[in-house]
Amino acid sequence: MNYISTRGSIAGVSAAHAIRTGIAADGGLFTPETMVKLSSSELESLKNKSYQELAVDILSRYLSDYPKADLVTMVESAYRYPDKFADPRVTPVTELRKGEYILELWHGPTCAFKDVALQLLPYLMTKASELTQDRSGIVILVATSGDTGKAALEGFRDVPGTSIVVFFPDQGVSEIQRMQMVTQEGRNTFVAAVKGNFDDAQNGVKEIFGDAKIIEKLAGHKLAFSSANSINWGRLAPQIVYYFFGYLELCRQGVIALGDPMNITVPTGNFGNILAAYFAMRMGLPVRKLICASNANNVLTDFINSGVYDRNRQFYTTISPSMDILISSNLERLLYYLTGSDPKRVNEWMQSLKNTGRYQVDTQTRAEIQRTFIGGFTAETETKATIKKVFEERKLALDTHTAVGVSVYERYRQETGDNLPVLIASTASPFKFNSSVLEAILGESAVAGINEFALLDKLSGLSGMEIPAGLKNLDKKAIRHKTVCGKAEMGQVVQELLKLK
């Protein structure tokens, strides 16, 4: 399998090269040149595989330059039970109500779906150095709204030949998310708070990636940057696996027969997770509709419905912060395929986005999008009402992102009468956003003035769920990262933290 940049000027590169470099030099995203296709008998052959076996099967089709024996070792190390994932099935499926199933993606060490990819990425990345004969050390640079940063730190900590620098917005993450990051252990981990919001941190990181002076200095120390954000193909490929796993679980549970269609709903921010579902569908997984759920930052809902992407709008800070995003980078990969692999059009749209904050796709592309995607969003009050309702009916505590997915899906089902079984991606543990979850269930007075660590016990008592190991005693851990910087100082901070002379 070869990879091509969505902007078209780089093609024919290996998976290892795509993963090692993270982003293409022409500003585009590396993406597979052709779609992998599974026949119905191949799908059938996956039916009784464990999560790990399934992962090797699917990944080996995309990472064809990685020796299969290595993939087996990497997958087994990344998804080991119980020290890496707290459930032996890795991403178990539970019933919400008849016809609605929750794909639990948060049993990894940092309690968000990003662990599924970020536990594996460090192995893929270090192997890539070997396969591409690139001997320079890797510096992973991350801007995070909370979940990616911690998952990447945990994945890369003490991985030989790598270091990782994470920037998070000083005021933009929850107390639990902040403590998860500033207490991070590992000889090669660095964390800094940026005085600003997520966009400031993200723009700062983008500038550093393009800063010729810093890149040259790194090269002098035999180091090179790479990315652990979902612009890196190595983040997306592992996510395809769990949509297959979820489908096959529904078959094993007797909900559907092999070959029958289902729908998928994904609470969406950067469009990475739902794009992995799109890949699964194009590979031959029987999926009819992909329901893209947003919060008040509903730029994707408008895009799917109108064909106009317009980021010139108010930015809202919500109780589902990992979806508070106005530029969904991975949409670029979708557009590449929907135009029949036409980098010229993709380029025009992305230039327009850069220059004016807006682009409009042609009617044919819009029709292609609408053939598969449904866009919907919920207001904060609906998200909270959904958490309360699901808890009262099912004693199930949903996190604030998953609740956006459930809420958007249920409205879709009511409005259309589409009763196909649905997998709803559950992207975080409710413990990670416990203050908002408990407020939704018990009311504001029940959480007012109580810190998030005290609320862990309260949520555990109420839901009967165990507090995840990674969050327990987090407030008692030593703070190891104290750097706070202005957004103009980020480049300097990287050089200081890495001790570049």
Ligand X SMILES: *Cc1c(COP(=O)(O)O)cnc(C)c1O
Are the C-beta atoms of residues 200 and 490 closer than 8 Å to each other? no
Specify the residue, 196 or 321, whose C-beta has the smaller distance to ligand X.
321
Closest to ligand X by CB, 111 vs 455, is 111
Tell me how far the alpha carbon of residue 430 is from its chain's centroid.
17
How many residues touch ligand X under the rule CB under 6 A: the total is 16
Tell me: does residue 144 bind ligand X (CB under 6 A): no
CA-wise closest residue to 376 among 347, 417, 405: 405
> Of the residues 114, 289, 384, 432, which is catalytic?
114
Site stretch for ligand X (CB under 6 A), options 16-24, 240-248, 269-277, 344-352 = 269-277
Among 57, 65, 115, 147, binds ligand X (CB under 6 A): 147
190 sits near ligand X (criterion: CB under 6 A) = no
Is residue 271 near ligand X by the rule CB under 6 A?
yes
Does the N-terminal peptide bond of residue 82 adopt cis geometry, omega within 30 degrees of 0?
yes
Question: Which of 324, 328, 323 is CA-nearest to residue 315?
Answer: 324
Could you tell me the smallest distance in angstroms from the CB atom of residue 305 to ligand X? 18
Question: What token pair was written down for 446?
Answer: 């029940």
Residues 215-254 that bind ligand X (CB under 6 A): 230
- Token pair, residue 190, equals 């660095």
- Tell me, residue by residue from 406 to 445, as one string, x for binding to ligand X by CB under 6 A and - for no binding: ---------------------xx-----------------
DSSP-derived secondary structure letter, 112: B
Alpha carbon distances (Å) from 213 to 210, 216, 220, 491:
9, 5, 11, 10
206 noted as active-site residue = no
Tokens of 474: 């987090």
Which residue's CB is nearer to ligand X, number 43 or number 86? 86
Q: Report the site for ligand X in 295-354 (rule: CB under 6 A).
A: 322-323
Q: Is the separation of the CB atoms in 455 and 447 below 8 Å?
A: yes
CA 324/CA 297 separation, integer angstroms: 6
Q: How far is the CB of 217 from ligand X (least distance, A)?
A: 31
Residues in region 73-112 near ligand X by CB under 6 A: 112
Nearest alpha-carbon partner for 378 in 400, 408, 406:
408
Asked whether position 270 contacts ligand X by CB under 6 A, the answer is yes
Q: 65 or 324: whose CB is closer to ligand X?
A: 324
Nearer to ligand X, 66 or 278 (CB): 278
User: Closest Cα to residue 227, out of 111, 116, 121?
Assistant: 121
Residue 200: phi and psi, rounded to 5, are: -65, -45
Nearer to ligand X by C-beta: 204 or 269? 269
Tell me which residues touch ligand X (CB under 6 A): 112, 114, 147, 230, 267-273, 322-323, 401, 427-428
What residues act catalytically?
114
